[in-house]
Amino acid sequence: MRVAIFASGNGTNFEVLAKQFQDQTIPGDLVLMFCDHPDAKVVERAHRFKVPVETFTVKECGGKQAYEERILKVLQDYQIDFIALAGYMRVVGPTILDHYDHRIVNLHPAWLPEYPGLHSIERAFAGHRDQTGVTVHYIDAGLDSGPIIAQRHVPILADDTLDSLESRVHEVEHQLYPQVLKAVLTDLTKKEQG
């Protein structure tokens, strides 16, 4: 499987995944990192792992449709089989979805369907709940609404700050996402080999 990771920001999840692709803990070849923010820290991380980078913005493409068509062209050029979203902060539209049905997974820092969209950790913390979570799911045309593959709870402790909660959510992400990707890609590879 030729895999692309899409990211928008710091790239800590990208780094965890890149290490596991390199040592083959996760099967497949990580052949592309796409980022919609050319100056994001994840770009630097990808260069460090010698993963090819493509980066451009919606604005420079003149709108979402043209942007997604350009991404699709990049995916085809790299012969991408599977996409892992790791902190990619845009909703993927039908231009890409139609070509990658059931081949795009996302990591979301909440127990979906609670807190879809942005600022999930902040909203869970502000909601005075006793727990939140991490969800890995296939994406569909909705906002964080695709079929759930795996979830893990993260307790919200009485003495938590937003920072301490965020850091525990990220720890769980860094454990759960590689495990799920390994299982999904192993399964897909077996199916393809028939």
Q: Mark out the alpha helices in the chain (DSSP H runs).
A: 12-22, 41-48, 58-61, 64-77, 94-97, 120-126, 162-193
- Residues 51 and 151: their CA atoms lie apart, in Å, by 28
Q: Tokens 């992400």 label which residue?
A: 173
pLDDT the model gives residue 186: 96
pLDDT the model gives residue 113: 96
| CA separation, residue 75 to residues 19, 65, 155 (Å) | 22, 15, 38
Of the pLDDT bands very low, low, confident and very high (cuts 50, 70, 90), residue 193 is confident
- Predicted TM-score (pTM) of the model is 0.96
Q: Which two tokens stand for residue 194?
A: 């028939």
pLDDT per residue as tens digits for the range 7-21? 999 999 999 999 999
Q: Could you give the number of structural domains in the chain?
A: 1
- The annotated binding site is made up of 11-13, 64, 106
pLDDT the model gives residue 140: 94
Rounded average pLDDT over 56-81? 97
pLDDT per residue as tens digits for the range 112-151? 999 999 999 999 999 989 999 999 999 998 999 999 999 9
- The annotated binding site for (6R)-10-formyltetrahydrofolate is made up of 64, 106
Q: Report the share of the chain in percent with pLDDT over 70.
A: 100
Structural domain containing residue 158: 2-193
Q: Tokens 């590879």 label which residue?
A: 189
pLDDT the model gives residue 23: 96
Query: pLDDT at residue 192 above 90?
Result: no
CATH classification at residue 51: 3.40.50.170
Of the pLDDT bands very low, low, confident and very high (cuts 50, 70, 90), residue 61 is very high
Q: Which of these is catalytic: 108, 119, 128, 137?
A: 108
Q: Is 108 annotated as catalytic?
A: yes
pLDDT the model gives residue 194: 80
Within a 13 Å sphere around the CA of 93, how many CA atoms are in the beta-carbon half?
A: 12
